[in-house]
Amino acid sequence: MITLDSVTKVYADRGKHVTAVDGVSLTVDSGEIFGILGRSGAGKTTLLRCLNLLERPTSGTITVDGVELVSMSRRDLRTARQRIGTVFQHFNLMSSRTAAENIEFPLEVTGVGRAERRQRVTELLELVGLSDRGGNYPSELSGGQKQRVGIARALAGRPSVLLSDEATSALDPATTEQILDLFKQINEATGVTVVLITHEAEVVRRICDSAALMESGRFVEQGPLLQLVGDPDSRLAEILLPTGDHDLSIPGRHLTLAFADERAIEPSLSRLSRDLGVEVSILGGTLERVAGHQVGRLRVVYQPGQASDDAVIGYLRERGVTVTAA
Ligand SMILES: Nc1ncnc2c1ncn2[C@@H]1O[C@H](COP(=O)(O)OP(=O)(O)OP(=O)(O)O)[C@@H](O)[C@H]1O
Ligand SMILES: [Mg+2]
């Protein structure tokens, strides 16, 4: 488990103070995939560098697996850092070493014996689907393959936490999907806790269990995705499952519906017209797989007829749909 309590990082930049991370508190459960979504300059990389202690926070505490990292001595920190693996946007591979030798490097640094290193590298190459590429140099690998090497290297020391800073931003959409699925597969196979930092909604939608929205150094929202998408007022939900621009000039009553289970919605809308005699039209919205569930957010309009608004809203809520008047 990872716990951050009021983590702040202030940089002194040519006489000015820049607060890159501003009082972030966060809990990531063991085995979870947690996404941090934010625009450029939001403070994501700074937060990640605090998490792996490449950067000391100005204040606040960071606890990984029950060990508080900020107050540690330099030497203890070196050991504690081995519990955390990091994957980078631009791979950061050594060009003079083969894929296998890049993966082996952190094991050499920590003094693992040669035979054990070789065995571990073979396992890791297989885990990331590169068994036939170990002898290739980075210049002979595609972007997706390089990132597979980066992921294997991050996992070499069997960390309990895997951090990723925009690991897929340099990749095309199809390769992005493959790398995200690899993160998920590794998470399921090894139980490693994953924290992904990204500016792409797709990354969060595809594999995260929980997420936070970061702006100007702060978390403006965070929680389990299924909970967030069921909240019609959630900004993160609107980014992940946009309902689109809403034309309020269309006559009728306008509602935003959110549901964390697809089975809730189709029969509910069709039964609504049958049971209450109300015709509902869908104006826009998104149905997507999120955190392993088919979830959705819809804008709908209906003509109030014989049924009252309370009856319509109550009918949908009883069937697990969250409803707000748009
Ligand atoms: N070493 C530094 N010295 C001074 N200011 C810094 C330093 N590193 C980052 N900052 C500032 O902190 C803020 C957050 O930067 P950070 O790199 O964490 O954002 P980010 O969310 O990762 O952005 P991007 O998506 O572009 O990578 C920015 O205003 C940046 O200029
Ligand atoms: Mg960054």
- Report how far ligand 2's centroid is from the alpha carbon of 164 (Å): 10
CATH of the domain at 242: 3.30.70.260
Please check the confidence at residue 308 and state whether its pLDDT lies above 90.
no
Judgement on whether residues 44 and 90 belong to the same structural domain of the protein: yes
Spatial strand order of the sheet with 253-259 comes to 280-290, 293-302, 253-259, 322-325
Q: Is the CB of 89 under 6 A from ligand 1?
A: no
Q: Is the CB of 46 under 6 A from ligand 1?
A: yes
Give the number of other CB atoms < 10 A from CB of residue 189. 9
Mean pLDDT confidence for 225-235 = 85
Three-state secondary structure of 77-111: HHHHHCCEEEECCCCCCCCCCCHHHHHHHHHHHCC
In a domain, 36, yes or no: yes
Greatest mean pLDDT among 69-73, 119-123, 234-238, 313-317 lies in 119-123
Mean pLDDT confidence for 14-38 = 96
How is residue 85 written in tokens? 């693996």
pLDDT at 279: 85
Three-state secondary structure of the chain: CEEEEEEEEEEEECCEEEEEEEEEEEEECCCCEEEEEECCCCCHHHHHHHHCCCCCCCEEEEEECCEECCCCCHHHHHHHHCCEEEECCCCCCCCCCCHHHHHHHHHHHCCCCHHHHHHHHHHHHHHCCCCCCCCCCHHHCCHHHHHHHHHHHHHCCCCCEEEEECCCCCCCHHHHHHHHHHHHHHHHHHCCEEEEEECCHHHHHHHCCEEEEEECCEEEEEEEHHHHHCCCCCHHHHHHCCCCCCCCCCCCEEEEEEECCHHHHHHHHHHHHHHHCCCEEEEEEEEEEECCEEEEEEEEEECCCCCCHHHHHHHHHHCCCEEEEC
In a domain, 230, yes or no: no
Judgement on whether residues 147 and 89 belong to the same structural domain of the protein: yes
Rounded distance, CA 172 to CA 167, Å? 12
In a domain, 229, yes or no: no
In a domain, 63, yes or no: yes
Mean pLDDT confidence for 162-166 = 96
| 82 or 266, which is more confident | 82
Least confident of 121-130, 145-154, 274-283: 274-283
Using one digit for the tens of pLDDT, what is the confidence trace for 196-209?
Answer: 999 999 999 999 99
Structural domain of residue 268, as residue ranges? Answer: 235-325
Judgement on whether residues 179 and 264 belong to the same structural domain of the protein: no
pLDDT at 8: 98
pLDDT at 295: 85
Q: Ligand 1, from 45, 48, 49, 218: best to mutate by most atoms within 8 Å of Cβ? A: 45
Please check the confidence at residue 143 and state whether its pLDDT lies above 80.
yes
Spatial strand order of the sheet with 59-64 comes to 16-28, 2-13, 59-64, 67-68
**Index of the ligand 1 atom closest to the CA of residue 199:** 25
Please check the confidence at residue 126 and state whether its pLDDT lies above 90.
yes
pLDDT at 262: 65
**Index of the ligand 1 atom closest to the CA of residue 47:** 18
- Report how far ligand 2's centroid is from the alpha carbon of 272 (Å): 47
Mean pLDDT confidence for 223-237 = 87
Q: Is the CB of 42 under 6 A from ligand 1?
A: yes
Question: Any idea of the CA torsion for 90, 95, 99, 100, to the nearest 10 degrees?
Answer: -130
Q: Is the CB of 218 under 6 A from ligand 1?
A: no
pLDDT at 264: 64
In a domain, 319, yes or no: yes
Please check the confidence at residue 186 and state whether its pLDDT lies above 80.
yes
Q: Is the CB of 248 under 6 A from ligand 1?
A: no
- Asked which of 173, 202, 224 is the last residue of a domain, the reply is 224
Q: Is the CB of 11 under 6 A from ligand 1?
A: yes
Using one digit for the tens of pLDDT, what is the confidence trace for 132-141?
Answer: 999 999 999 9
Rounded distance, CA 92 to CA 146, Å? 9
**Index of the ligand 1 atom closest to the CA of residue 45:** 22
CATH of the domain at 67: 3.40.50.300
Please check the confidence at residue 306 and state whether its pLDDT lies above 80.
no
Please check the confidence at residue 194 and state whether its pLDDT lies above 90.
yes
Mean pLDDT confidence for 21-38 = 97
Q: Is 116 exposed, middle or buried (0-12, 13-18, 19+ CB in 10 A)?
A: exposed
Least confident of 23-37, 38-52, 66-80, 209-223: 66-80
Q: Is the CB of 48 under 6 A from ligand 1?
A: no
pLDDT at 22: 98
Judgement on whether residues 91 and 201 belong to the same structural domain of the protein: yes
143-155 helix and 99-109 helix, angle to the nearest 10 degrees: 20
Please check the confidence at residue 185 and state whether its pLDDT lies above 80.
yes
Nearest CA to ligand 1 atom 27: 40
Please check the confidence at residue 178 and state whether its pLDDT lies above 90.
yes
Judgement on whether residues 68 and 208 belong to the same structural domain of the protein: yes
Q: What is the mean pLDDT of the chain?
A: 91
pLDDT at 263: 67
Number of domains in the chain: 2
Judgement on whether residues 111 and 134 belong to the same structural domain of the protein: yes
Q: Ligand 1, from 7, 44, 89, 196: best to mutate by most atoms within 8 Å of Cβ? A: 44
How is residue 296 written in tokens? 């959705």
Judgement on whether residues 278 and 213 belong to the same structural domain of the protein: no
Using one digit for the tens of pLDDT, what is the confidence trace for 251-305?
Answer: 888 988 888 776 666 777 888 888 888 888 889 888 888 877 788 888 999 887 7
